[in-house]
């Protein structure tokens, strides 16, 4: 499993897919098809679940020096 997929699963553990979908304004079915968090939803997923953006999408939000330690 990729790191981004693992981070997404961590987000799903923090809140269920249905609740997350409601907060994002999309369907739970759409979320079930994700292999990684879509760029347009990363910040909201972070705020709802507490999973950091650099874990959800390190390709877009690389960890800072402090986070790398």
What does the pLDDT average to over 3-24? 94
For residue 26, the model assigns a pLDDT of 96
47 class by beta-carbon count within 10 Å (0-12 exposed, 13-18 middle, 19+ buried)? exposed
pLDDT surpasses 90 at 69: no
Count CA atoms closer than 13 A to 16's CA, side-chain side. 3
Question: What is the model's pTM?
Answer: 0.87
pLDDT tens track for 16-68: 899 999 999 999 999 999 999 999 999 999 999 999 999 999 999 998 865 55
Lookup: tokens for 47: 């705020």
Q: What CA–CA distance (Å, rounded) separates 16 from 64?
A: 29
Contact 58, 5 (CB under 8 A): no
* Domains detected in the chain: 3-68 (1.10.260.40)
């Amino acid at each position: 499993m990729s790191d981004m997929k693992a981070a997404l699963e961590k987000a799903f553990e923090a809140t269920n897919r249905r609740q997350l979908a409601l907060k994002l304004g999309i369907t739970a079915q759409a979320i079930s098809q994700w292999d990684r968090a879509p760029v347009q939803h990363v910040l909201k997923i972070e705020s709802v679940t507490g999973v950091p953006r650099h874990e959800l999408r390190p390709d877009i939000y690389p960890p800072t020096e402090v986070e790398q330690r």
